[in-house]
Amino acid sequence: MMFKKFLINCNQATTICDKSQYNEVTLLDKVKLNIHFLRCKICSLYTKQNVFLSTMYKGHAKSCRQIKHCLTDVEKTALKKSIESKI
């Protein structure tokens, strides 16, 4: 009966998966998640896809930080006029 403490549902599994992307899970949560993967291939796939997307995003975000994103003076003026016309 002690084994039931390690069983989680899919909602809990996805929450743990999401938290693990930010290193916010405990060792116990990781164990529960891996036990869940033994019986749920959908959550296992979700986790693999989540890791892939996070990796892709981190790579893209790193390259974006190197580019300065600023509006030109003309764009700023146009945006300001657009906002003022809606007020």
Q: Where are the domains of the chain?
A: 2-86
- SS3 label, residue 32: helix
Tell me the residue type at 23. N
- Residue 62: alpha-carbon gap to chain centroid: 16
Type and span of the H or E element at 60: helix 41-65
pLDDT at 72: 87
Output the pTM of the full model.
Answer: 0.63
Give 30-80 pLDDT, tens digit per residue. 999 999 999 999 999 999 999 898 888 887 777 767 777 788 899 999 999
